[in-house]
């Protein structure tokens, strides 16, 4: 078991506890672009970014960290 962590907008995530990462989608009320990171139960973190490029980079880096763990 890995104890690898990943920092995302002030949260420290334990990578092997992540169950899913959603695709990018437009946030409500023109708040930018977001994706969700899901854990056990109903626990979910929403990561919002001002533009699609920042959101894509962040999501891709998180997915890479998950694959490498």
Give dist(CA 18, CA 31) in Å, integer: 25
Residue of 31, 6, 10 whose CA lies nearest to 21? 6
User: Which contacts (CB < 8 Å, 24+ apart) does range 47-54 have?
Assistant: 47/8, 47/9, 52/24
Record the tokens describing residue 17, joined without a space.
């506890």
- pLDDT, tens only, 12-31: 999 999 999 999 999 999 99
Does the pTM surpass 0.85? The reply is yes
Which pLDDT tens digit goes with each residue over 42-55?
A: 899 999 999 999 99
Is residue 2 very low, low, confident or very high in pLDDT (cuts 50, 70, 90)? low
pLDDT confidence of residue 25: 97
Residue 1 in this model has a pLDDT that exceeds 70: no
Q: How far apart are CA 53 and CA 3, in angstroms?
A: 29
């Amino acid at each position: 078991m890995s104890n690898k962590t990943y920092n995302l907008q002030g949260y420290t995530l334990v990578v092997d506890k992540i169950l899913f990462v959603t695709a990018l989608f437009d946030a409500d009320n023109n708040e930018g672009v977001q994706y969700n990171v899901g854990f056990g139960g109903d626990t979910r973190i929403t990561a919002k970014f001002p533009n699609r490029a920042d959101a894509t980079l962040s999501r891709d880096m998180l997915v890479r960290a998950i694959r490498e763990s």
